[in-house]
Chains A and B, each alone.
Chain A
């Protein structure tokens, strides 16, 4: 077994016994990158030299002080997390030369835990997309089938973990951007509760929805990364000063006697039959583990997409007003005065999907339309949140498909924005309600494409999700397949 294909906890065990070193692990990961990156294209920027130096330091630290939470483990960062001295593009032309003068809080925390950074992964421009095709740097491919998309917006992180181009990765999730690519690439992905992980240094898309979370090969690794990144940050005023439990403690507890809600609105016409069959099978598995499944209703589910595509663009058009060609980023040389410079900079700096969302958001917030769009959407959002509150009064966790279909083909949906938006139909409600969600692999289609199942819980119940997902993972006996690259 190659080192790059192992999990964080397996590698930490080997580092602890001295069986391997961080330099060997890091070299194995970069060897894998050299072999497959030309096909997968998971990264925008590789950090090979600094990674090898960090690995050497980690090996010294292990000998001197013993092992920390992530000492010597190669981790990839979605290119939306600011890294001091390393360019952070957000997949956009407008930030293609932006070099942050500080680290995001999550980067600081990973660094302090001893992580080695492999590089910055590809993503849809400003995290707006479900396929990683809107990146200015070109599309990432799905390691399971190179003619297909890896999902998005954190497609580079998901593909890098699936292909062995890092041991684990961070992504961000505004409407499914961690869970959807995790499902389509056959890895574990968690979106924590809004406020659980600091957004300081995360390039903002929709500030009331954005949340950073981990991509890992299994649930135990997810718990390990959550232990490092979760927690209050005084620099981020929406981060919550609530105590963070040790998530590893939830791993082996079992789910005997738990009640699982199956929302009837999530098993709809249009869902791929193979996806539905795989998700139905998970219901039998968790029942086999001692849980009881009941039907619950989330009656406003059919409105989630419309609410999201008002709220997210409204917040995005405000957040993206900062890209004006003055303080950082690309500037068009064509403008003769300030107003022309702004317009030409933004017209040339942003791609089509970003412009579309800026336009929707600006329209929805503009005088005369505010009540009909933004206010109405915010009211329906409250009803969506209430649906979840009522459902969680009857069950411990909710189980749904993560996506309606397996990975689709590159180019299949790029000309039809509404079709692309529909691929997030099962993940968006989580962000609107602010609750945590996790996607876990639950099987493969006949064509060999991974399928994911999503578990949801109430605010700050990440421990419960890890407990449930870990019990499922142990019982499911999902075939240990790897993409053939």
Chain B
């Protein structure tokens, strides 16, 4: 039996963090596939990374500053044009507070 890296309960928890949901059958398939993938990642444990600075960007770059001036931006009607629902110049969502 290969080591379980992620259980079905953990899959449910991670799905919630990612704002996803799965049916029972889908969850089983995902759990098994995620375990395969995560077991493959164990390979990285073979590499000695003591003292290695993590690399999060491909090229060395300093902060890209610009002047704090008002530029052109999208007008409200265009900003709302793709919204599934909007009202009174605002994005509309289902009820948040009971």
Interface residues of A (CB under 8 A from B): 97-99, 101-102, 193-195, 208-209, 234, 237-238, 240, 300, 302-303, 305-307, 309-310, 317, 321, 324-331, 335-344, 346-347, 350, 355-356, 358-360, 362-363, 366, 373, 375-383, 385, 417-418, 431-434, 459
Asked whether, in the complex, the Cβ of A366 is within 8 Å of the Cβ of B49, the reply is no
Asked whether, in the complex, the Cβ of A379 is within 8 Å of the Cβ of B52, the reply is yes
- In the assembled complex, the Cα of A240 lies from the Cα of B82 at a distance in Å of 32
User: Knowing that A310-B41, A328-B83, A376-B49 are A-B contacts, what are 9 other residue pairs whose CB atoms are under 8 Å apart, sorted by A's residue number?
Assistant: A208-B57, A208-B58, A309-B40, A324-B19, A338-B96, A346-B19, A347-B22, A373-B41, A383-B49
CB distance from B56 to the nearest CB of A (A): 6
CB distance from A237 to the nearest CB of B (A): 4
Query: Chain B residues near A366 (CB, 8 Å)?
Result: 14, 17
- In the assembled complex, the Cα of A128 lies from the Cα of B55 at a distance in Å of 22
- In the assembled complex, the Cα of A381 lies from the Cα of B36 at a distance in Å of 22
Partner among B11, B41, B84, B95 whose Cβ is within 8 Å of the Cβ of A359: B11
Query: Chain B residues near A376 (CB, 8 Å)?
Result: 44-45, 47, 49
- In the assembled complex, the Cα of A326 lies from the Cα of B84 at a distance in Å of 7
- In the assembled complex, the Cα of A418 lies from the Cα of B43 at a distance in Å of 14
Question: 11 A-B contacts, Cβ less than 8 Å apart?
Answer: A101-B78, A208-B57, A302-B43, A347-B20, A355-B22, A359-B15, A359-B30, A363-B10, A379-B49, A382-B55, A383-B52
Residue of A nearest to B52 (CB): A379
Cβ of B81 within 8 Å of any chain A Cβ, yes or no, is: yes
Asked whether, in the complex, the Cβ of B59 is within 8 Å of the Cβ of A194, the reply is yes
- In the assembled complex, the Cα of A170 lies from the Cα of B70 at a distance in Å of 33
- In the assembled complex, the Cα of A310 lies from the Cα of B37 at a distance in Å of 10
Asked whether, in the complex, the Cβ of B18 is within 8 Å of the Cβ of A379, the reply is no
Asked whether, in the complex, the Cβ of A209 is within 8 Å of the Cβ of B58, the reply is yes
Query: Chain A residues near B47 (CB, 8 Å)?
Result: 300, 303, 376, 379-380, 383
Asked whether, in the complex, the Cβ of B14 is within 8 Å of the Cβ of A327, the reply is no
- In the assembled complex, the Cα of A237 lies from the Cα of B61 at a distance in Å of 9
Cβ of B89 within 8 Å of any chain A Cβ, yes or no, is: no
Interface residues of B (CB under 8 A from A): 6, 10-11, 14-15, 17-22, 30, 33-34, 36-38, 40-41, 43-47, 49, 52-59, 61, 64, 66, 74, 78-79, 81-85, 91, 93-96
CB distance from B94 to the nearest CB of A (A): 5
> With A331-B84, A382-B54, A385-B55 given, is the CB distance from A359 to B40 under 8 Å?
no
Query: Chain A residues near B85 (CB, 8 Å)?
Result: 331
Asked whether, in the complex, the Cβ of A431 is within 8 Å of the Cβ of B44, the reply is no
Asked whether, in the complex, the Cβ of A356 is within 8 Å of the Cβ of B19, the reply is no
CB distance from A206 to the nearest CB of B (A): 11
Asked whether, in the complex, the Cβ of A380 is within 8 Å of the Cβ of B21, the reply is no
Query: Chain A residues near B41 (CB, 8 Å)?
Result: 306, 309-310, 373, 377
> With A338-B95, A343-B21 given, is the CB distance from A303 to B49 under 8 Å?
no
CB distance from B53 to the nearest CB of A (A): 6
